[in-house]
Structure 1
Amino acid sequence: MHVGLGLPISDPAALLHWARRADAGPFRTLGLLDRLVYGNPEPLIALAMVAGATSHVRVQTEVLLAPLRDPVLLAKQVATLDRMSDGRLVLGLGVGGRADDHLASGTDLRTRGRRMDEQLAIMRRLWAGEPYSTECGPIGPAPLRPEGPEILFGGFQPAALDRVGRWGGGFLAAVPPSWAGRLFDTVRRSWKDNGRSGEPRIVAQVNVALGPQDVIDDARAAMGAYYEFSDYAETVLAGMLTTPTEIRAALAEFDDLGVDEVMFYCYGRDADQVDRLADAVS
């Protein structure tokens, strides 16, 4: 089972420092969240810089809110980053649920799921080198693979879980082990029902903060601000892991569930967490 690191979103200027330290450690992947009406860095731009500053780790959107974006431009941006990072991009996608994000992008919150399915069909066609239309030719560059980079789907609703089987790729679950098993079973069932061979890739995301109390307090404040729109902010805060023992226990539980990778997401800004997490998972 692999281990990845989610980068904090509260200080964009610090991300390259975090990334270089993580690139020298046991981490396979670096992830970044997405919002529009928020102070986070735009993930594709930020991860392009992260990819350029590293040589080993993969870069992953967790999750990119596809319905907020134009699918043709998104296909071109993703293919460019896929090629320039030598295939290190993992495209985590979700529909989002914040009304203000959709208001700012001029998209309809109510049809976001259907819109993402339409976007995926367009992007897959463009990545395969097909023309956009009878009046408009292909749009490059081509990604390294005709089907595009690896895609993970995030979400909790049945339609979101079924996308893994319908479109291929894998599932990104931001839930504790106690909730995760039934979601993984649903995703694996969708995979087989859609005639997929092998198994879907399963990635879990857990919030962590390692360090003295000021680091933990900083992480709680940043996470609380990010989730304050929702009804489950307190639940998310309560689930944050703050000791090496808790982190190792979560790894063991996810391993028992057949998870392929666990992303430890940091909201606290202290970059020394990279080394503390490396020690905890080694």
Structure 2
Amino acid sequence: MDVGMTLPVMEPHIDPATLERWARLTDESPFSSLAFGERIAFDNPDALTLLGAVAAWTSRVRVVTTVIVPQLHDPVMLAKALATGDRLCGGRLSVGLGVGGREEDYAAVGADWSSRTMRGMAERAGVMRRVWAGENVTGATRPVGPSPAQAGGPELLVGTHGHKTVRSAAAWADGLAGMSLDLDLAAASDLFDTARTAWAEAGRPAPRLTTSFWFALTETTDDPRGQVHRHLRHYMNWIPAEFVDALAPTAGFAGTLAELGVVLDRFADLGCDEVQLIPTSDDPRQVELVAGLLG
């Protein structure tokens, strides 16, 4: 099983120098990918702009967006931006797509909240595939380019932990970009099985199965569970604090590096293709420590 690292883009006051250091450390270490997500009504960097910087800072790891919400973008412009990013990173891009769960993000860009449907996401994914195939979808004098580095465009993974969404995405997605809130391995196994069955019934190749979870290490903080809690209080600001406080005691991973290795082994036993770790602080020692575990 591969293990990827996520940039700490959701940490408060994150600066470009820290992001670059994380990206270069990850690229120089045994990680398989470098991931980052999208939010609008928040103080994180814009994901599509960051994509260009990450392409320049790295040369080896796969670059993964987990996840882009296509309903927040014009699909043709999104296809152009992602194709550009794929060319800049030499065909290393994987794109997670999800409908998102924050009404304020939709409101911030004037997007229709009622478009937050599986059908709406599938339609936008279809438009992007057509653009990447060189089809003239706009009626302009030329098709919208550039062509992506990967023939047909980057792989598209559905970002969800819902079985209904997974089954719906089997018609268009290449796999799953999951998220484990509480490291429930039985739930993760069930979701993977749902994906395998749905893709097989759709006559599609076996799906790529990835997941992610928050982590904090005792080697970098005296209070790893508190670190996770503080991160969630900042990141999950659209949710009432009492619900975040109820989630925090069991959310993600908080423990030693050795214990993290055991958790990763258990996900590997489920047939997971890749786990992307989500940091809960911007301390780059986390990259170095996990790299040592993987090395």
- Aligned CA distance change for structure 1 residues 124 and 31 (closer, same or farther; 3 Å): same
1:184 matches 2:192: yes
Q: CA deviation at 1:165?
A: 1.5
Residue 55 (structure 1) aligned with residue 64 (structure 2)? no
Deviation of residue 220 (structure 1)? 3.1
1:153-210 alpha-carbon deviations (Å, 9 max, x no partner): 111334421244111311011112232011111111110111113x110011021122
In structure 2, C-alpha distance between the alignment counterparts of 1:216 and 1:92, rounded to whole Å: 28
The answer (yes or no) to whether the contact 1:215–1:270 under 8 Å persists in 2 is no
- The reply to whether residue 246 of structure 1 matches residue 259 of structure 2 is yes
Instruction: Quote the residue 1:221 is aligned against.
Output: 230
Matched to 2:6, the amino acid is: G
Q: Does 1:87 align with 2:87?
A: no
Aligned to 1:271: 284
Contact kept? 2:163, 2:191, Cα under 8 Å: no
Counterpart amino acid of residue 262 in structure 1: V
Query: C-alpha separation between the residues in 1 aligned to 2:227 and 2:53?
Result: 25
* C-alpha separation in 1, matches of 2:268 and 2:207: 15
CA distance in structure 1 between the partners assigned to 2:33 and 2:104 by the alignment = 30
Secondary structure of residue in 2 paired with 1:156: coil
Per the alignment, residue 2 of structure 2 pairs with 2
1:132-143 map, 5 Å: 132-134=137-139, 137-143=142-148
Q: TM-score, normalised by structure 1?
A: 0.93
Is the 2:161–2:179 Cα contact (8 Å) retained in structure 1?
Answer: no
**Secondary structure at 2:107's aligned position in 1?**
helix
4+ aligned runs moved over 4 Å, structure 1 = 214-219
- Structure 1 residues 119-128 or 42-51, which shifts more? 42-51
TM-score under structure 2 normalisation? 0.89
Secondary structure of 1:21's counterpart equals: helix
Count of residues in Structure 1 that have an aligned counterpart in Structure 2: 281
Measure the CA separation in 1 of the matches of 2:62 and 2:138: 33
Q: Provide, for residues 108-135 of structure 1, a one-character-per-residue CA deviation record: whole Å limited to 9, x for no partner.
A: 2222223222211111111000101445
**Aligned twin of 1:165:** 170
C-alpha spacing 1:215/1:18, structure 2 compared with 1 (3 Å): farther
CA RMSD of aligned residues (A): 1.9
Q: Label 1:258 to 1:80 Cα distance change in 2 as closer, same or farther (>3 A).
A: same
Amino acid at match of 1:239: A
**Does the CA contact (< 8 Å) of 1:30 and 1:58 recur in 2?**
yes
Are the counterparts in 2 of residues 12 and 41 from structure 1 also a CA contact under 8 Å?
Answer: no
Which amino acid in 1 is paired with 2:135? Answer: E
Tell whether the 8 Å contact from 1:66 to 1:93 is kept in structure 2 after alignment.
yes
1:23 counterpart (27, 35, 39): 27
Q: What is the CA–CA distance in structure 2 between the aligned matches of 1:72 and 1:28, rounded to whole Å?
A: 29
> Kindly tell me: are residues 145 and 87 of structure 1, through their superposed partners in 2, closer, same or farther at Cα, counting changes over 3 Å?
closer
The gaps in structure 1 that reach 5 residues or longer are none
